[in-house]
Chain A
Amino acid sequence: GENVEQHPSTLSVQEGDSAVIKCTYSDSASNYFPWYKQELGKRPQLIIDIRSNVGEKKDQRIAVTLNKTAKHFSLHITETQPEDSAVYFCAASICCSNGMKTSYDKVIFGPGTSLSVIP
């Protein structure tokens, strides 16, 4: 069945350093890859997403890259801050590509990465 792997499971970085979290997926039909951040005691919240027609997307200190051939996608956080400390989940699903629903499959989440940013 579909599977999403995520590494590392825990990550500790010094404030100001970069953090990279990597995910791989098994279903080659997947074309939508969101990343969620879950702070302690709070709900997961979308921080960035990427679709398969794009190789990279950036939003301030956060960037995501996608390699469809290798079925890899990664989250990059630069200039980390203590408030970046949280659990990060990657996910993969099959979604429409043009904003209209043409097909949909369940969202498969990775097991999560616990990021700690040390002041």
Chain B
Amino acid sequence: KAGVTQTPRYLIKTRGQQVTLSCSPISGHRSVSWYQQTPGQGLQFLFEYFSETQRNKGNFPGRFSGRQFSNSRSEMNVSTLELGDSALYLCASSLGYDTQYFGPGTRLTVL
């Protein structure tokens, strides 16, 4: 099976802009989770979608939102970007109840 894919792989934005990241899970996986990874904070959980419903949410401001489509593909949106949003954004897919498989990530730089 093809692995988890994320697009784009790299992104440069300026403060105040918004950005949308995409994640395609492994075929048959219904759960997609999003994480923010920074050198100082490790892997921070953003949210998880299962069958188009947000099932869990981390402690991030409302500027961070997501959705999942009927084909399990997921998008994450960040509005009004701040410098501190610069990070590697990883998505992970799973059948919905255990092992997560990570994508390669999207490296977001906010200038």
Query: Which residues in A have some Cβ–Cβ distance to B below 8 Å?
Result: 32, 34, 36, 42-46, 49, 89, 93, 95-96, 101, 104-112
Contacts and interface: CB of A to CB of B under 8 A. Distances in A.
A61 B97 CA distance: 27
Nearest to A32: B98
B99 to A, nearest CB: 6
29 contacts: A36-B102, A42-B104, A43-B90, A43-B102, A43-B103, A44-B102, A45-B102, A46-B99, A46-B100, A46-B101, A89-B42, A89-B43, A95-B97, A95-B98, A96-B97, A101-B97, A104-B55, A104-B56, A106-B33, A106-B45, A106-B56, A106-B58, A107-B33, A107-B45, A107-B100, A108-B45, A109-B45, A110-B42, A112-B42
Closest 3 CB pairs of A and B: A106-B56, A109-B43, A43-B102
A52 B55 CA distance: 23
B48 interface: yes
A49 B90 contact: no
A87 B56 CA distance: 26
A95 B95 CA distance: 12
A112 B43 CA distance: 8
A109 B44 CA distance: 8
Contacts of A49: 98-99
A44 B43 contact: yes
A108 B35 CA distance: 11
Contacts of A32: 98
Interface in B4-43: 33, 35, 41-43
B66 interface: no
B4 to A, nearest CB: 8
Contacts of A111: 41-42
A36 B42 CA distance: 12
B1 to A, nearest CB: 15
Given A46-B100, A111-B42, 8 more contacts: A43-B103, A49-B98, A89-B42, A105-B56, A106-B33, A107-B33, A107-B100, A112-B43
